[in-house]
Chains A and B, each alone.
Chain A
Amino acid sequence: MRMKFFAALALTVAMGSALMVFATPPPAGSGSITGKVTYTGTPMKMKPIDMSKEPSCAKQHATPITTENVATGPGNTLQWVVVYISAGDEGTTTASQGVRYDQKGCQYLPHVLTMLAGQQLQIYNDDQTSHNIHPLAKVNQEWNKSQPPGSPPIDTKWDKPEFIAVKCNIHPWMHGYFAVLKTSHVSITGEDGTFDIKGLSPGKYTVTAWQEQYGTKTQDVTVGAGAATANFVFTATPY
């Protein structure tokens, strides 16, 4: 019991001092970290989504959209990878503006949305059908709300950093992610697999890349005045 108490005390003290370090982040700099995220191996195929059960959505897509959990491009690039500063100067820790998430054509837009812990999040239903929005949070608390057509946006926020899978149980093909971070130094890879984390002051950083199927990869990067480079390679599996 006594041991536990001291361990807890030590931890609290450690956390306290860590907080003090981050409480006053240095001003944003002109440095950046750019790079590309690719894979080796055989990834699962992007499959066309059959929305025939929801005609009001199906007709919004001239050609069927494809699954996005592993979105690949020419040259083995990976889209929708969240690349962020996981140690070093983490940037702004409070946000002045909210972020917006849309359900449109029975698809989540964007597929992965980044936000800060505590940042306001507004969820819209732009469709002519009901969605139930069901963030499967584990660190934060999961909830599950119906949002019929024409309802006001759902106003919410997440208190703790977590990658939260989002689904609609009514339309089982709808999958997305909330990437709740404690850093504003983040970039999501585009179709060409590239990212660009801007506004960094010179210094040492740990950079983490997260892909929803393949997990995280981390590397240390030193940033000078200009752009530093960091590339990430994930090992793909066909399932």
Chain B
Amino acid sequence: MTTLGGAAGFEVIVGGGLGRTPMIGKTLREFLPAADLLPYVEAIVSVYNLLGRRDNKYKARIKITVHENGIEEIRARVEARYARLKTLFKGADQQLLQQIEAHFKAPEFICEKAPEFDAFKEESPGFCSWVDTNITAHKAEGYAIVSISLKKHGDTPGDATAAQMRVMSELAKKFSHDELRISHEQNVILPHVHRSDLPTVYRALRTANLATANIGLISDIIACPGMDYCALATARSIPIAQQIATRFAKLELEHDVGLLKLKISGCINACGHHHVGHIGILGLERAGVESYQITLGGDAGAEAQLGTRAGPGFGAKDIVPAIERLVLGYIELRADADETFLQSYQRLGAAPFKALLYPKEK
């Protein structure tokens, strides 16, 4: 039996998803032994294949299948199918998994102190601020995980030029055991960087316009392609993201505002995950003009939560000032500088935030 590097198995969740009918997933099985993964997943997909609706493409995703049939019915069918499939898997998958695991052996980490890092931290405030926002703790002592922001204020979220891709590739080769990751937040990760190399990495990134210190801040916006590219879009999302980022860069407030996930979609398909943004923006079309609807209180974290609509939409010209009122108002409302936007919202409820968005006419 495989141990998956320490994990005994899985909790299996099914039927979550965003899009036009956002739903939080439900637990299908609290414990699935690691070795039974493939027969069980195959059972899920084959039950869905037969039971999922083919008469209406908007009701065809598995979240609707689960919703319409109920999780118990799905569980009963999956378990029945799984019981049959399990006997057909005779261990080839586990052998394959062992071969695959050998490919993913951790690199050899050299655990030592990093004097260069501390020295450079003293002399460069820009580096300090970048370390504060863009570095995450690594499991090996002396190492760090670097998040490279593809959200320079005013640029298109998630875009990288060929020259930037080459710089990131070169840095991965020299300083990150030849590895890069792409995050769902549309940034690039150097997963294994020794802390003593961080100053060099930072300088190289800065030269390539890749050292924006904003991971997790309001300008680290997720935005779908929207009307600039997408055939399904009802509104633009990239320009809105660019305007918000530029505005907050100018206000020089985003580090003070702290953790805030802002997510923008250009239509109800929700590729920009606006339902789970602390602040979500959904671009719609009303009688030929763009209208941006704000949702508040969404969360993609462990306690997944869908945001609630704040009220009527804003026009393209009014959406950025509305977000500004909201965020500046939050600074006044928060209990202290450590209380994030989401925490304030959860503590105070929607009313004071709605009042910021829709001030009464004097």
Q: Check if A and B associate.
A: no
Tell me the A residues contacting B by CB distance below 8 Å.
none
